């Protein structure tokens, strides 16, 4: 989506420029297509929060891309939840076994009240079905163990 942005300075006329309201690169470019494929198809992404002492805290997490935000479910005792309450800037890193095809997204994380549990999100279950059962014994048990929803809104994207 593209939206106009107004710029005006003291004693200057107003000028309008078009800026993207999405951080993702243009889907018609090879990089933009690759970013969207990684968001759609990858199973694990490294979510990095910032600890109280300023140290980066990377954690591999399961995620679901909805076209606008990244949804991550968490255990209630996950330290990253406290991190994002006080320092909501995070990064998502899609790595590569061979080098190259790296995508790093920076964004703003927000704890979301009222989000359905993971076992009730059809797309999440479709993506992680057997893994959910493997971790917790059933979809429902996984939903009880990982009930806290975190949504990440992308702000910047880079990669190679």
Structure tokens at 85: 């309450």
Buried b (16+ CB within 10 A) or exposed e, 47-57: bbbbeeeeeee
Confidence of residue 114 (pLDDT cuts 50, 70, 90): very high
Q: 40, 41, 76, 80: which is closest to 60 by C-alpha?
A: 80
Q: Are 111 and 149 in contact (CB under 8 A)?
A: yes
In tens, the pLDDT along 53-62 reads: 999 999 999 9
In tens, the pLDDT along 36-53 reads: 999 999 999 999 999 999
Buried b (16+ CB within 10 A) or exposed e, 119-141: bebeebbebbeeebeeebeebee
In tens, the pLDDT along 55-97 reads: 999 999 999 999 999 999 999 999 999 999 999 999 999 987 7
- 97 vs 115 pLDDT, higher one: 115
Distance of alpha carbon 91 from alpha carbon 100, whole angstroms: 18
Residue 9 above 90 pLDDT? no
Q: Domain 23-159 has what CATH class?
A: mainly beta
Q: 21, 118, 23: which is closest to 62 by C-alpha?
A: 118
List the domain boundaries for the chain. Answer: 23-159
Residue 4: predicted pLDDT: 41
């Amino acid at each position: 989506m593209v939206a106009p942005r107004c710029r005006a300075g003291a004693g200057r006329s107003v000028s309008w420029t078009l800026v993207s309201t999405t951080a993702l690169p243009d889907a018609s470019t090879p990089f933009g297509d690759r970013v969207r494929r990684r968001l759609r198809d990858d199973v694990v992404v490294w979510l990095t929060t910032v600890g109280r002492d300023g140290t980066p805290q990377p954690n591999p997490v399961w995620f679901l891309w909805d076209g606008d935000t990244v949804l991550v479910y968490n255990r209630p005792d996950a330290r990253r939840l406290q991190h994002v309450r006080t320092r909501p800037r995070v990064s998502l890193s899609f790595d590569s076994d061979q080098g190259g095809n790296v995508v790093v997204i920076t964004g703003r994380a927000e704890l979301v009240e009222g989000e359905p549990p993971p076992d009730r999100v059809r797309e999440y279950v479709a993506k992680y079905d057997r893994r959910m059962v493997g971790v917790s014994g059933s979809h429902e048990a996984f939903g009880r163990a990982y009930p806290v929803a975190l949504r990440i809104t992308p702000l910047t994207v880079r990669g190679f």
